[in-house]
């Protein structure tokens, strides 16, 4: 509906004049009726694969706005009811919890919710958990032997690890990890842990960079989600890998399993289309597509869908007993991260 | 012949009407000239306002955070090293080309300006894709020093060309060794050009985002982006932006003060001789090899790496997006489309301001023009975040629109347009237009037949510069582009930052090609001077 965005049309016509074919072409594409707008913090390739299949099946086009999870969450908060978004798909649950606390999330279709274990979704049914990802250590097999690796993530703050570890505090995966440390060890211990990390660690932008650095031997150990190690292994092949994944055991904080989930916004312009997309994400077909691809290394949460065989089976992991509901939003973690000076 | 004049008089509006119309036109002109400066002040004010939102106490608390100190140290270290490298490279190359009998001087002179046409963000992608060991300080220094040394080379070379050889000859006759002569006679004369160039290097290093983000070197721009990604878009991030803004405006201010003083005029009458050229003698091949080596590093390696990755299969696993031809074409069209539209808007905003400033000198016009130039010290990331915060609160319909992105481009590159338009208007003096009017041309005919033909080439150069800058712009495009709008820069960013080098290659190649071809055409038609103006403003 072209009339839906008068301001934009007006500006487009008056400012752009006839010159910008590319931009104008895009605007008319954007105005197609049966479309939904997705704010996505999931990997672009994964989302591309899913949206292409969804559009093929339903005819509903998906416009995707990408960003880091916390960035998009804070953007959605700022936009409020003006948000162009219909739904939000992110890698970590705390961002969804945050939006739900602000009343921005609409109830998910009960039939969709029923397809995944209740413990992995919001207790109030306002967002659905779809995939899970495991926090691990990546270590360079030439630089460190497996038995020298720490029993707990907390040990990395010890001075003996100085110069040996890499972290990415600005990556969306770091905040939930810190949240669980706060939850289980208390804020004071968490801050001390961060200060230890700050003294010990090399700072990277994101998990992708850490895994590459560890693999080539710039740093012996890095804190990442296992996902990124698998992607690098697929990319480089066995000959290119000089690193391995270490799983924390014994319900250690470092063994956190994050839930990647999605939700429909209360301000959605096309709520039915958005609900359809959520339902599609929770189908065995979509989950199998992800599990069998070489771009996504997350555990499907729909029962009966086998995870990618490259991953250690979900039931053999030993995560801390903090579910997404108990993990809460990242509010406290972000404040503590700033207090430590890591960001 | 009074009877013949009468009907004409009748057709004209009364004298009072003319004056009123003149005032109206003038008023409109001033109003139009105010738009660009106001737009430039908007994000500065918004950043300041946002940073101070919680009062001065919280702001000071923010500024006292250890991160700010660490970033200052990081940034200062890099800027000092970059300035030193650029000074040595710039002066050295300029000396070899302008003052020695080096073979192939013309080719080397052309090559020395070329790095300005390759965005550092592309160069950093090329180096990083060769080896991850370019991450960090070393790689960052390599990329910015090779990208920005022309900013020193161009003004220093011009200064060397313009120097009167008589001074050096006197010094030598009075017994100074060649080196002492260089240090005591040549270098002081070069100082204004050298200092100006080095300040530009500092300014560009401060505002660079893409290259440092790819190379994992932490500076203010990258940490502002990190804070934004972690969900902090309020006063905390604005405080960091404020520090960066102050540093940039400081550089700009220093440059401005320096400009007032940078004159070593030759007072004597008569034509001076061409500058001295020293014979390199036996060391000639060594210098040629060194210069070839330098160009291999500044241009050869980055371009070769792009070509190499073009020939590799798109690596699936860490490629965020499929490299479909449609995607590449779409991004190219978007970059070109936004480039054209953004250039049109930028020129439209800069024209009235530049016209007013060249034709009506005065404190008001000078102030307006200088305010426009402040945008040079505006880092893209600070601008984008400020615009988002302003727009979401006031005109949400503009949020995530092409219009807002174009406005951001116009603010960023208005100084570029101002320089170009000014030099164009100097070619078309208002006296010529007035002469035409007094000879009976209408206002429009005078514009079409006198001013336009004189000013058009310069305006074309200005527009071309703005176009290149917009078509390769990353930071504000990344933050402000409407949903679904990907440009060459954002695609290169998406792939490059996740180390999907093969997938990034087509975008890097097209971006570089657009920039080099446009710069080449520009230099062919107008010489290298506008290229410098691109950075200098």
Closest CA to A54 of A317, A289, A324, A281: A281
What is the Cβ-side half-sphere exposure of residue B16, based on CA atoms within 13 angstroms? Answer: 0
Nearest to A44 among B341, B406, B494 (CB): B494
Distance from CA of A111 to the nearest CA of B (A): 30
In angstroms, the CA B372 to CA B381 distance is 18
B318 closest CB neighbour out of A73, A95, A232:
A232
The larger pLDDT score, comparing residue A33 to residue B100, is at B100
Radius of gyration from C-alpha coordinates of chain A: 21
Residue B228 above 90 pLDDT? no
Alpha-carbon distance of A146 to B358, in angstroms, equals 72
Q: How far apart are CA A278 and CA B56, in angstroms?
A: 46
Contact A75, B525 (CB under 8 A): no
For residue B316, pLDDT beyond 60 = no
Buried b (16+ CB within 10 A) or exposed e, B243-254: bbbebbbebbeb
The reported pLDDT for the residue numbered B14 is 52
Q: Compute the distance between CA of residue B230 and CA of residue A227 in angstroms, rounded to an integer.
A: 20
Residue A56 contacts by C-beta under 8 Å, 6 or more apart in sequence? none
Q: How high is the pLDDT of residue A291? A: 86
**In the 3-class helix/strand/coil scheme, how is A308-337 assigned residue by residue?**
CCCCCCHHHCCCCCCCHHHHCCCHHHHHHH
Report whether pLDDT(B535) > 50: no
Residue among B229, B312, B389, B485 with most chain A CBs within 10 A, to mutate: B229
Mutation target among A13, A15, A63, A87 for the B interface, most CBs of B within 10 A: A15
* Structure confidence by residue, pLDDT tens digits, B350-369: 999 998 888 888 888 889 99
Distance CA B48, CA B41 (A): 11
Taking CB atoms and an 8 Å limit, are B498 and A208 in contact across chains? yes
Between residues 511 and 530 of chain B, which touch chain A (CB distance below 8 Å)? none
The answer, for B322 touching chain A at a CB cutoff of 8 Å, is yes
Most A CBs within 10 Å: which of B139, B212, B230, as the mutation test of the A interface? B230
Does B498 sit within 8 Å of A205, measured CB to CB? no
Pairing of strands A221-225, A165-167: parallel
Q: Are B305 and B130 in contact (CB under 8 A)?
A: yes
Cβ-defined contact of A11 to B497 (cutoff 8 Å): no
Check if A31 contacts B (Cβ < 8 Å).
Answer: no
Distance (Å, rounded) from C-alpha B23 to C-alpha B28?
Answer: 8
* Cβ of residue A23 closer than 8 Å to a chain B Cβ: yes
Tell whether the model's pLDDT for residue B6 goes beyond 60.
no
| Cβ separation A30–B345 shorter than 8 A | no
H or E element in which residue A60 lies? none
For B397, the closest of A8, A212, A218 (CB atoms) is A8
- C-alpha span between B359 and B446 (Å, rounded): 16
Pairing between strand A243-246 and A87-90? Answer: unpaired
Contacts of B464 (CB under 8 A, 6+ apart): B518, B521, B522, B530
Shortest CA distance from B345: residue in chain A: A15
Contacts of B330 in chain A (CB under 8 A): 22, 26
- Residue A108 contacts B where some CB pair is shorter than 8 Å: no
The span from the CA of A140 to the CA of A149, in Å, is 11
pLDDT of residue B17: 63
CB B450 within 8 A of CB B186: no
Distance, C-alpha B178 to centroid of its chain:
36
Of B230, B316, B395, the CB nearest to A295: B316
Does any CB of chain A come closer than 8 Å to the CB of residue B260? no
Cα(B200)–Cα(B194) distance, integer angstroms: 10
Among all residues of chain A, which has the CA nearest to that of B321? Answer: A45
pLDDT confidence tier of residue B266, bands split at 50, 70 and 90 = low
Residues of A in contact with B498 (CB under 8 A): 208
Q: How far is CA A109 from CA A29, A264, A267, A328, B536, in A?
A: 29, 10, 16, 22, 58
CB-CB neighbours of A217 under 10 Å: 14
Q: Which of A61, A129, A118 is nearest to A94 (CA)?
A: A129
Distance CA B409, CA B383 (A): 10
Q: How many CA atoms within 13 Å lie on the side-chain side of B405?
A: 31
Q: Give A223: exposed, middle or buried? Use CB within 10 Å, 0-12, 13-18, 19+.
A: buried
Residues 74-103, chain A: which have Cβ within 8 Å of B? 74-75, 78-79, 82, 84, 95
Mark yes or no for CB contact A15/B401 under 8 Å. Answer: no
Q: Do B344 and A73 touch (CB under 8 A)?
A: no
Tell me which residues of chain B, numbers 3 to 42, contact chain A at a CB-CB cutoff of 8 Å. Answer: none
pLDDT one-digit tens code per residue, B143-161:
999 999 999 999 999 888 8
Cα dihedral value A9, A15, A17, A19, nearest 10: -110
- The two beta strands, A128-140 and A299-300, are antiparallel
For residue range B364-384, list pLDDT tens digits in order.
888 999 999 999 889 999 999
On whether any CB of chain B is under 8 Å from the CB of A172, the answer is: yes
For residues A127 and B119, give the distance between their C-alpha atoms in angstroms, rounded to a whole number: 42
Interchain contact B340–A (C-beta under 8 A): yes
> What are the chain B neighbours of A11 within 8 Å (beta carbons)?
398, 401-403
Q: How confident is residue B11, by pLDDT bands cut at 50, 70 and 90? A: very low
φ/ψ region of B360 (left if φ > 0, alpha if ψ in -120 to 50, else beta) reads beta
Q: pLDDT tens, B447-483? A: 888 888 888 888 888 898 899 999 999 999 998 999 8
Tell me which chain B residues have a C-beta less than 8 angstroms from the C-beta of A66: 494
Of B139, B67, B205, B141, nearest to A218 (Cα)? B139
- Per-residue pLDDT tens digits for B20-45: 777 888 888 889 999 999 999 999 99
Bridge-based pairing state of the strands A221-225 and A128-140:
antiparallel
Is there a contact between B144 and B205 (Cβ–Cβ < 8 Å)? yes
Give the position of tokens 């006292």: B64
**What whole-number percentage of chain B has pLDDT above 90?**
44
Measure the CA–CA gap between B465 and B420, rounded to whole angstroms: 8
Q: Determine the Cα–Cα distance for residues B122 and B150; give it in Å rounded to an integer.
A: 17
The answer to whether the Cα torsion of A47, A53, A55, A57 is positive or negative is negative
pLDDT at B20: 75
Residue A24 touches partner B, C-beta closer than 8 Å: yes
In chain B, the residue whose alpha carbon lies closest to the alpha carbon of A13 is B403
**CA dist., res. A103 & res. A157, Å (int):** 37
CA B410 to chain A, closest CA, distance in angstroms equals: 12
- Name the minimum distance, in Å, from the CA of A77 to any CA of chain B: 10
Chains A, B: CB contacts within 8 A come to 183
C-alpha triplet B266, B270, B272: angle, nearest 5°: 60
What DSSP string describes A235-258?
HH-GGG--EEEE---TT-GGG-EE
* DSSP result, A148-159: GS-SSGGGGGSG
Nearest CA in chain B to A41: B229
Q: How many H-runs (helices) and E-runs (strands) does chain B carry? A: 26, 0
- What is the distance in angstroms between the Cα of A100 and the nearest Cα belonging to chain B? 16
Condensed to tens digits (0 to 9), the pLDDT of residues B487-508 reads 999 999 888 877 778 888 999 9
Nearest CB to A11 within list B344, B396, B403: B403
Verify whether the Cβ–Cβ distance A235 to B318 is below 8 Å: yes
Which pLDDT belongs to residue B323? 67
- The values of phi and psi at residue B446, to 5°, are -65, -40
**ipTM, 2 dp:** 0.74
Q: Are B43 and B378 in contact (CB under 8 A)?
A: yes
Distance between CA B229 and CA B214 in Å, rounded?
15
Residue A8 or B414, more confident:
B414
* Under 8 Å between Cβ of B139 and B124: yes
Given CB atoms, is A331 within the 8 Å cutoff of chain B?
A: no
Contact call for B229 and A43, based on CB within 8 A:
no
pLDDT at residue B191 greater than cutoff 80? yes
Q: Measured between CB atoms, does A334 come within 8 Å of chain B?
A: yes
Parallel, antiparallel or unpaired: strands A257-265 and A105-106: antiparallel
Chain B residue at shortest CA distance from A233: B317
Sequence-separated (6 or more) residues with CB below 8 Å from residue B512: B117, B118, B119, B122, B303, B306
Distances (CA, A) of B242 to A100, B64, B78, B220, B233: 32, 13, 20, 10, 13
> d(Cα B280, Cα B277) in Å, to the nearest integer?
9
Token code pair at residue B112: 């020395």
How buried is B447 (Cβ within 10 angstroms: 0-12 exposed, 13-18 middle, 19+ buried)? middle
Name which of B39, B221, B341 to mutate to probe chain A: the one with the most chain A Cβ atoms within 10 A of its Cβ: B341
pLDDT greater than 90 at residue B76: yes
pLDDT in single tens digits along all 343 residues of chain A: 333 333 344 444 334 443 444 444 444 444 444 899 999 998 888 898 899 999 999 999 999 988 888 889 988 988 888 888 999 999 989 999 999 999 999 999 999 999 999 999 999 999 999 999 999 999 999 999 999 999 999 999 999 999 999 999 988 889 999 999 999 999 999 999 999 999 999 888 788 889 988 998 889 999 999 989 998 888 778 888 999 999 999 999 999 999 999 999 999 999 999 999 999 999 999 999 888 887 789 999 999 999 998 899 999 999 998 888 888 888 889 889 888 888 7
| Cβ-contact A85, A39 below 8 angstroms | yes
């Amino acid at each position: 509906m072209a009339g839906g965005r008068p301001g934009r049309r007006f500006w487009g016509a008056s400012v752009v004049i006839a010159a910008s074919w590319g931009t104008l072409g895009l605007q008319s594409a954007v105005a197609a009726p049966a479309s939904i707008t997705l704010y996505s913090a999931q990997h672009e390739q994964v989302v591309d694969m899913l949206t292409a299949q969804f559009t093929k099946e339903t005819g509903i086009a998906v416009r995707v706005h990408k960003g880091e999870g916390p960035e998009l969450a804070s953007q959605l908060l700022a936009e409020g009811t003006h948000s162009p978004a219909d739904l939000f798909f992110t890698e970590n649950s705390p961002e969804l919890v945050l939006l739900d606390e602000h009343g921005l999330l609409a109830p998910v279709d009960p039939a969709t919710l029923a397809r995944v274990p209740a413990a992995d979704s919001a207790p109030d049914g306002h967002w659905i958990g779809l995939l899970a990802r495991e926090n691990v250590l990546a270590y360079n097999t030439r630089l460190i032997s497996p038995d020298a690796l720490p029993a707990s993530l907390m040990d990395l703050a010890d001075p003996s690890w100085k110069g040996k570890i890499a972290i990415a505090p600005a990556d969306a995966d770091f905040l939930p990890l810190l949240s669980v440390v706060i939850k289980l060890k208390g804020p004071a211990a968490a801050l001390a842990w961060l200060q230890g990390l700050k003294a010990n660690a090399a700072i990277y932008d994101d998990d992708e960079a850490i895994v590459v650095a560890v693999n080539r031997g710039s740093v012996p150990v890095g804190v990442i989600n296992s996902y990124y190690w698998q992607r690098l292994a697929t990319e480089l092949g066995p000959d290119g890998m000089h690193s391995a994944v270490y799983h924390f055991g014994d319900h250690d904080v470092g063994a956190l399993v994050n839930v990647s989930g999605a939700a429909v916004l209360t301000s959605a312009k096309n709520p039915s289309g958005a609900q359809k997309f959520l339902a599609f994400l929770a189908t065995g077909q979509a989950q199998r597509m992800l599990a069998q691809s070489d771009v996504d290394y997350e555990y499907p949460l729909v029962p009966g869908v086998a995870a990618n065989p490259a991953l250690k089976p979900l039931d053999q992991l030993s995560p801390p007993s903090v579910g997404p509901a108990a993990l809460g939003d990242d509010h406290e973690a972000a404040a503590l991260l700033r207090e430590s000076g890591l960001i | 012949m009074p009877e013949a004049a009468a009907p004409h008089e009748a057709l004209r509006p009364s004298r009072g009407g003319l004056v009123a119309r003149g005032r109206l036109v003038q008023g409109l002109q001033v109003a139009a000239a105010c738009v660009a400066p106001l737009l430039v002040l908007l994000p500065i004010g918004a950043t300041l306002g946002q940073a101070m939102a919680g009062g001065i106490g919280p702001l000071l608390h923010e500024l006292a955070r250890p991160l700010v100190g660490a970033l200052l140290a990081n940034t200062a270290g890099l800027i000092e090293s970059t300035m030193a490298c650029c000074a040595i490279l710039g002066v050295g190359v300029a000396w070899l080309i302008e003052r020695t009998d080096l073979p192939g001087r013309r080719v080397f002179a052309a090559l020395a300006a070329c790095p300005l046409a390759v965005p550092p963000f592309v160069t950093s992608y090329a180096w990083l894709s060769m080896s991850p060991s370019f991450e960090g300080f070393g790689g960052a220094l390599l990329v910015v020093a090779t990208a920005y040394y022309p900013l020193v080379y161009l003004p220093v070379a011009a200064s060397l060309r313009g120097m009167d050889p008589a001074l050096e000859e006197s010094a030598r006759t009075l017994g100074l060794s060649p080196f002492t002569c260089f240090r005591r006679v040549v270098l002081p004369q070069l100082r204004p050009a050298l200092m100006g160039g080095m300040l530009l290097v500092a300014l560009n290093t401060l505002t660079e985002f893409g290259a440092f983000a790819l190379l994992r070197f932490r500076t203010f721009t990258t940490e502002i982006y990190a804070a934004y990604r972690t969900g902090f878009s309020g006063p905390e991030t604005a405080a960091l932006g404020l520090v960066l803004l102050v540093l940039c405006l400081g550089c700009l201010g220093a440059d401005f003060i320096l400009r007032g003083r940078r004159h070593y005029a030759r007072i004597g009458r008569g034509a001076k001789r061409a500058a001295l050229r020293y014979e390199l003698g036996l060391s000639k091949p060594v210098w040629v090899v060194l210069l070839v080596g330098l160009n291999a590093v500044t241009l050869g390696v980055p371009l070769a790496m792009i070509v190499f990755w073009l020939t590799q299969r798109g690596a699936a696993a860490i490629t965020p997006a499929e490299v479909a031809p449609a995607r590449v074409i779409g991004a190219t069209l978007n970059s070109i489309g936004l480039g054209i539209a953004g250039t049109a808007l930028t020129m439209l905003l800069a024209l009235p301001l530049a016209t007013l400033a060249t034709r009506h000198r005065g404190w008001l016009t000078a102030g307006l023009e200088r305010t426009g130039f402040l945008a040079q010290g505006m880092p893209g990331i600070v601008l984008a975040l400020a615009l988002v915060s302003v727009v979401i609160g006031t005109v949400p319909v503009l949020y995530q629109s092409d219009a807002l992105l174009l406005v951001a481009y116009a603010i960023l590159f208005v100084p570029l347009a101002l320089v170009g338009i000014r030099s164009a208007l100097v070619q078309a003096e208002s006296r010529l237009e007035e002469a035409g009017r007094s000879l009976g041309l209408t206002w429009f005919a005078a514009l079409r037949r006198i001013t336009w033909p004189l000013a058009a080439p310069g305006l074309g150069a200005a527009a071309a510069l703005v176009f290149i800058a917009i078509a390769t712009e990353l930071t504000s495009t990344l933050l402000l582009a409407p949903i679904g709008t990907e440009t060459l820069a954002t695609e290169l960013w998406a792939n490059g930052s996740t180390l999907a080098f093969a997938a990034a290659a087509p975008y890097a190649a097209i971006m570089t090609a657009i920039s080099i071809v446009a710069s080449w055409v520009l230099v062919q038609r107008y010489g290298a001077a506008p290229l410098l103006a691109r950075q200098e403003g």
